[in-house]
Amino acid sequence: MTTIRQRVADFCDTFGLTVPVLQAPMAGACPVPLALAVARAGGMGACGTVLDAPERIGAWMEEFRAGAPSGVVQLNTWVPDRLSLSAGERDNLARKAEAFLERFGAPGTVPVTGGPRPYAEQCEAMLAARPAVISSIMGLFEADYVRRMHDTGVAWFACATTLEEALAAQEAGADAVVAQGMEAGGHRGSFDPEQAERTDIGLFALVPWFADHLRIPVIAAGGIGDGRGVAAALALGASAVQVGTALLRSPEAGIAPEWAAALDQTGPEATTMTRAYSGRLARAVSTPFLRAWEEPNAPRPAPFPDQIALMARWRAGGAPGIDPANHFAGQSAALATSEPAGDVITRLWRDASALLA
């Protein structure tokens, strides 16, 4: 049986890392300085591109390479959902959500757009940028794209929330699976958006389950906030960990001050699962705005990505009571510190190494 140390060393050797800690790709919270800080500390930087125009992806990568020519980085996007509702049903849900939002104030009058940018063009831009890794969430890449990635020397990490999804990813050629526990901040990566509430598996159950059934490495994500979490995930069978919320209060993340403040001292009980920001299930700090959507008479938020567009309109109107930014947070938000991101990565691995020694 491979030892923890050997499993981790193999993963780090394969991907050119000195520290088995990956920055989570976080769309909207992935500025270049954050990825640079993580990569310079020996981990893997990341950019979640789902909201980015294709030309922005190339520019992001150029800036990253200029700052860390040998830094290791992953680019990520969301595989689009298969539409399960008719246009009429979507419209109906959007109208109900719109009517509910009116209780917070009026929408802006200037047209705004929000939500994912064209997927096929994003995939081409990511490939052209030639990162070490391209990762998927919410589904799997097409076979032809996977072949082109591998021909170019780019590895594929696939996010999975159940064993069925993980096995499908392995079968489709993924080089590693990101096991996303239900503790994770941001969106759940469930391939079927309607199943997200039912498949809320904790990381302690998910990682050994994946490790026992997969041939490819497992990367643990969700609620890992300090060296104890890193050591536990590696002991459970992961080859590396991926952290998101733990980096959000670092100055390099540059998130909205009210979001950073909401993360401070947010214990596990104070986060909630919501569809109110985007229509897809996500974990965030439980704010008064999100709690309003949990009231018995509240409608279901509009489906993804219609709810994002609605939120963009109401935010543009400056409606009071609407969270000005999505307050995404994992269950270990209270462990996030305002240290520089590189120091966070170094501390996580130093403390985990001491525990695993």
Ligand X SMILES: Cc1cc2nc3c(=O)[nH]c(=O)nc-3n(C[C@H](O)[C@H](O)[C@H](O)COP(=O)(O)O)c2cc1C
Asked if 48 interacts with ligand X (CB under 6 A), we say yes
CB of 67 to ligand X, least distance (A): 21
Asked if 241 interacts with ligand X (CB under 6 A), we say no
Strand ranges (DSSP E) for 166-221? 176-180, 186-187, 218-221
- Alpha-carbon distance of 248 to 254, in angstroms, equals 8
Q: Which residues pair with 177 in a beta bridge?
A: 158, 218
- Alpha-carbon distance of 311 to 206, in angstroms, equals 33
Asked if 179 interacts with ligand X (CB under 6 A), we say no
Sequence-distant (≥ 6) Cβ neighbours of residue 54 within 8 angstroms: 117, 118, 121, 122, 124, 125
Asked if 170 interacts with ligand X (CB under 6 A), we say no
- Alpha-carbon distance of 342 to 333, in angstroms, equals 18
Q: Which of 50, 169, 231, 232 binds ligand X (CB under 6 A)?
A: 50
CB of 106 to ligand X, least distance (A): 28
Within 75-134, the residues that bind ligand X by CB under 6 A are 76
Q: Which is nearer to ligand X, 93 or 206 (CB)?
A: 206
Asked if 24 interacts with ligand X (CB under 6 A), we say yes
Q: Which is nearer to ligand X, 175 or 183 (CB)?
A: 183
Q: Which of 186, 193, 237, 301 binds ligand X (CB under 6 A)?
A: 186
Is the CB of residue 281 less than 8 Å from the CB of residue 351? no
Is the CB of residue 34 less than 8 Å from the CB of residue 252? yes
Q: Which stretch binds ligand X (CB under 6 A): 54-62, 94-102, 176-184, 232-240?
A: 176-184
Q: Which of 244, 303, 305, 342 binds ligand X (CB under 6 A)?
A: 244
| Secondary structure class of 24 (helix, strand, coil) | coil
Asked if 180 interacts with ligand X (CB under 6 A), we say yes
Tell me how crowded residue 81 is: count the other CB atoms within 10 A of its CB.
Answer: 19
Q: Among residues 327, 335, 334, 186, which one has the least CA distance to residue 267?
A: 334
Q: How far is CA 266 from CA 230, 303, 327, 331, 347, in A?
A: 20, 28, 11, 8, 21
Q: Which is nearer to ligand X, 222 or 303 (CB)?
A: 222
Asked if 26 interacts with ligand X (CB under 6 A), we say yes
Asked if 137 interacts with ligand X (CB under 6 A), we say yes
Q: Which of 221, 236, 276, 348 binds ligand X (CB under 6 A)?
A: 221
Overall size of the chain counted in residues: 357
- Alpha-carbon distance of 198 to 190, in angstroms, equals 10
Asked if 74 interacts with ligand X (CB under 6 A), we say no
Asked if 352 interacts with ligand X (CB under 6 A), we say no
Asked if 162 interacts with ligand X (CB under 6 A), we say no
Q: Which stretch binds ligand X (CB under 6 A): 123-131, 210-218, 241-249, 292-300?
A: 241-249
Asked if 272 interacts with ligand X (CB under 6 A), we say no
Residues in touch with ligand X (CB under 6 A): 24-27, 29, 48, 50, 76, 137, 159, 180, 183-187, 221-224, 242-246, 328, 330, 332
